[in-house]
């Protein structure tokens, strides 16, 4: 087994049997290689841009992880905020300057720009309005 395939399997094991298209590309697979793996039955589309690896059946955790990978971190955090307003949410953003001057780490919450390097990255879920939750 190639080193690249070992890295893919290690990721898939941590993610309950699923992997995102972007993750496969980051690990060195080309689009044509991904298509070949789909047609040969090694990857099974679960959601847009998310695949089950090896076999199409997934555990409940695999289905949940596929939803996280399909929608991305920000929509998932907004959905969690809607369901659990007492939660603390760790947002992700590149932090170029580290003190808020560049606005590179900004997330819009309730119509207000929040600089995660200054005001976060952990924010209370109650700060996120239900109207902002992705459908």
CATH number for the domain including 125?
A: 2.10.240.10
Q: How far apart are CA 27 and CA 4, in angstroms?
A: 7
| pLDDT tens per residue, range 49-102 | 899 999 999 999 999 888 878 776 677 777 777 777 777 777 777 777 777 777
Q: Return the DSSP state at 61.
A: H
The count of structural domains within the chain is 2
Same domain, yes or no: 9 and 60? yes
What is the span of the domain harbouring residue 58?
A: 3-69
Judge if 59 and 77 occupy the same domain: no
pLDDT, one tens digit per residue, over 13-35 is 999 999 998 889 989 999 999 99
pLDDT (0 to 100) of residue 119: 79
53 and 31 co-located in one domain: yes
Are residues 64 and 9 located together in one domain of the fold?
Answer: yes
Same domain, 52 and 103: no
């Amino acid at each position: 087994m190639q080193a690249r395939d070992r890295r893919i399997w290690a990721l898939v094991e941590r993610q309950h049997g699923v992997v995102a298209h972007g993750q496969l590309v980051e690990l060195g697979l080309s689009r044509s290689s991904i298509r070949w793996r789909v047609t040969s039955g090694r990857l099974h589309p679960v959601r847009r841009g998310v695949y089950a690896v090896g076999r199409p059946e997934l555990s409940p955790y695999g289905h949940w992880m596929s939803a996280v990978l399909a929608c991305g971190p920000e929509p998932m955090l907004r959905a969690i905020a809607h369901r659990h307003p007492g939660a603390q949410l760790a947002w992700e953003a590149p932090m170029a300057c580290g003190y808020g001057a560049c606005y590179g780490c900004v997330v819009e919450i309730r119509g207000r720009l929040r600089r995660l390097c200054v005001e976060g990255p952990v924010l209370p879920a109650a700060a996120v309005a239900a109207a902002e939750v992705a459908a």
